[in-house]
């Protein structure tokens, strides 16, 4: 821990996750003095318990699928099993290298890094043990935790959250996953590829329920084909431990026996007991309330990341942290357009989107003002080479720009960079249709969809 707690900093940042450390790095780059306080490890949930380790597991799962299905491509290979010790070693090496690099960045930017549990003791001070750090501005970035349901006890063994699932040293023979959002479908995908029998329980009518309904239905079709079971519109009733594992009961009377239950019902903000409300910060259901520049109602106090009621994504936290640093630094940044944030579920197949859904567009603009085109990946050469199914769906305003791009298929997350530009630059169908997409690539699917939207389909049906 840094021992110089007498200095007043331009920013004191409570929390070193995606939002907190991005704010620290950008502020230091702007010449501001920064103290960054973190009770665990810099990098937060994303680096150590979320984005990076889960994607490492998903890549290992893809390798397992490639070995299992190699004969489809004329390659004779055998899958002898899943060595979870080796998988975890690979995962931890990836995380470790990134962690070491981030530590180096923090040090090289001259940021005062404080290890310890901080608490907002006034609108301008954060206390860490007996030390106090004073800031002309304070940024709250304390992140989130894995939620459970009332009365559902997490034991970390048979009933666990994603934090525990990332540390599993074995492949479960069977698992029930409570929650069909991004975390749920990603772990379902990993465990199925590793050889487990998986059942997802989702209270809402579709998997990934925040996505466009067409994307949800395509994912459900793909999961059925993969043998991943799911119960939609079904509410959890209870769980009991058995000699073999757990028995999960639903309100509709169905029961499922499995080795374990993964509780993936979302993440909640870490705000309780940290002095926020005592300092005058408004908190609603645990979330700190902010304006479009991430300012709380207390002058000089900001909040970013999973702590505020915006999309709980690492890249959103990065952008909010940068926004705050630039706002404090006097650069007059633009507020974030949260509709323009790219979103990906990294399951197999991937679900990727940017902009608003068809239903949202029709609600905002009216049915007669919205035009929709869907291009099936069956017409895309590279998708056929990869043996993936799915689609690119465009939502546009009649005689107006594209307001939503929604995709399902292997590796379609890599197409989101172009889709983000299309949405955020308010491109019209003719603008994108005029671009040359390299052949054969999956990016052609975006071009083909826009050709169809412009009324001049090439390989798609008009």
| Active-site residue set | 439
Distance CA 165, CA 172 (A): 10
Please report, for residues 161, 170, 176, 187, the alpha-carbon distance to residue 259 in angstroms, rounded to integers and kept in the order given.
14, 11, 8, 15
CB 158 within 8 A of CB 170: no
Would you state the structure tokens that stand for residue 420, as one six-digit string? 């983000």
Q: In sequence order, what DSSP letters do the residues of 281-332 get, joined into one string?
A: --EETTEEP--TTSB-SSTTEEE-GGGSSS---HHHHHHHHHHHHHHHTT--
118-122 vs 125-128, strand pairing mode: antiparallel
Please report, for residues 35, 37, 272, the alpha-carbon distance to residue 129 in angstroms, rounded to integers and kept in the order given.
15, 12, 17
CA-based R_g, the chain, Å: 23
Contacts of 15 (CB under 8 A, 6+ apart): 37, 38, 44, 140, 141, 142, 143, 305, 307
Q: Which DSSP symbol is given to 334? A: P
Q: Which DSSP symbol is given to 37? A: E
Could you tell me which of 197, 266, 260, 253 has the C-alpha nearest to residue 230? Answer: 197
6: exposed, middle or buried (Cβ count in 10 Å: 0-12, 13-18, 19+): exposed
Could you tell me which of 288, 361, 380, 302 has the C-alpha nearest to residue 124? Answer: 302
Sign of the alpha-carbon torsion through 308, 313, 316, 322: positive
CB 182 within 8 A of CB 209: no
């Amino acid at each position: 821990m840094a021992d110089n707690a007498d200095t007043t900093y331009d920013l004191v940042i409570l929390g070193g996750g995606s939002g907190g450390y991005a704010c620290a790095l950008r502020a230091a780059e702007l010449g501001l003095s920064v103290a960054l306080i973190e009770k665990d490890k810099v990098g937060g949930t994303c680096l150590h318990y979320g984005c990076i380790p889960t994607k490492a597991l998903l890549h290992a799962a893809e390798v397992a699928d490639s070995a299992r299905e190699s004969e489809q491509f004329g390659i004779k290979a055998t899958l002898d099993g899943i060595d979870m010790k080796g998988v975890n070693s690979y995962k931890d090496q990836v995380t470790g290298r990134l962690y070491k690099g981030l530590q180096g960045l923090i040090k090289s930017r001259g940021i005062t890094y404080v290890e310890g549990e901080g608490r907002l003791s006034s609108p301008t001070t954060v206390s860490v043990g007996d030390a106090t750090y004073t800031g002309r501005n304070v940024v709250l970035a304390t992140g989130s935790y894995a939620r459970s349901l009332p009365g559902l006890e997490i034991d970390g063994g048979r009933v666990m959250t994603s934090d525990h699932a990332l540390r599993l040293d074995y492949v479960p023979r069977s698992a029930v996953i409570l929650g069909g959002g991004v975390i749920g479908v990603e772990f379902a995908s990993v465990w199925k590829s590793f050889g487990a029998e998986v059942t997802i329980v989702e209270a809402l009518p579709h998997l990934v329920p925040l996505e466009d309904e067409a994307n949800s239905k395509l994912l459900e079709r793909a999961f059925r084909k993969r043998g991943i079971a799911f119960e939609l519109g079904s509410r959890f009733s209870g769980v009991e431990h058995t000699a073999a594992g757990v028995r999960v009961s639903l309100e509709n009377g169905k029961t499922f026996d499995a080795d374990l239950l993964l509780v993936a019902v979302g993440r909640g903000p870490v705000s309780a007991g940290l002095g926020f409300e005592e300092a005058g910060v408004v908190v609603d259901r645990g979330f700190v309330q902010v304006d479009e520049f991430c300012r709380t109602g207390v002058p000089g106090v900001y909040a970013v990341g999973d702590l505020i009621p915006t999309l709980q994504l690492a890249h959103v936290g990065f952008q909010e942290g940068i926004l705050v640093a630039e706002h404090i630094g006097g650069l007059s940044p633009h507020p974030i357009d949260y509709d323009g944030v790219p979103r990906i579920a990294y399951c197999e197949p991937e679900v990727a989107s940017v902009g608003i859904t068809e239903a949202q567009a029709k609600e905002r603009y009216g049915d007669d003002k919205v035009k929709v085109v869907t291009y099936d990946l069956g017409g895309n050469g590279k998708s056929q080479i990869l043996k993936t199914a799915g689609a690119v769906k465009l939502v546009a305003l009649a005689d107006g720009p594209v307001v939503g791009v929604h995709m399902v298929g292997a590796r379609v997350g890599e197409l989101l960079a172009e889709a983000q530009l299309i949405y955020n630059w308010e491109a019209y169908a003719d603008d994108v249709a005029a671009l040359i997409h390299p052949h054969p690539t999956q990016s052609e699917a975006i071009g083909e969809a826009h050709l169809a939207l412009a009324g001049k389909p090439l390989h798609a049906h008009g």
